[in-house]
Amino acid sequence: MKFKIDTKEKIVVFCPEETVLDANLSDDFVATATALPELEGRNLILDMTLVQKIDAKGVEAILTVYQRMYDNNLSCAITGLNNTLTAELKSAGDDMLNLAPTMAEAIDLVMMEELERELLNGLE
């Protein structure tokens, strides 16, 4: 799978350079997106701008990556979705998915959650 990453202080932006995320690429997507060494201690933003089509396995792959981030006490947001992909993810996931229309909003979402965790950990 071809992709670009952009590493920031507390965030990694993962942008697949594929137009279709289907059963053929879903396992590779999960393996690649969750095994990035840059992710260590950083939140993830999935920038799906180039992805135009997705099938059930592709949706499942996105939800798997998303959940793994939260299982590791980190955040994830998804941005760059076209209307069709947004509808598919909303119906497959729940209302708790961080779907952001712009990169700036995606960054704000994960940084707010990061701050929330820091504040909660400080209270313990």
List domains and CATH numbers for the chain: 3-122 (3.30.750.24)
Taking residue 68's Cβ as centre, other Cβ atoms within 10 Å add up to 16
Above 70 in pLDDT, residue 124?
no
Share of the chain above pLDDT 70, in %: 99
Q: Tokens for 110, please give them.
A: 């994960």
**What predicted TM-score, i.e. pTM, was given to this entire model?**
0.94
User: Long-range CB contacts (< 8 A, 24+ apart) of 96-100?
Assistant: 97/66
Summarised one tens digit per residue, pLDDT across range 2-45 is 999 999 999 999 999 999 999 999 999 999 999 999 999 999 99
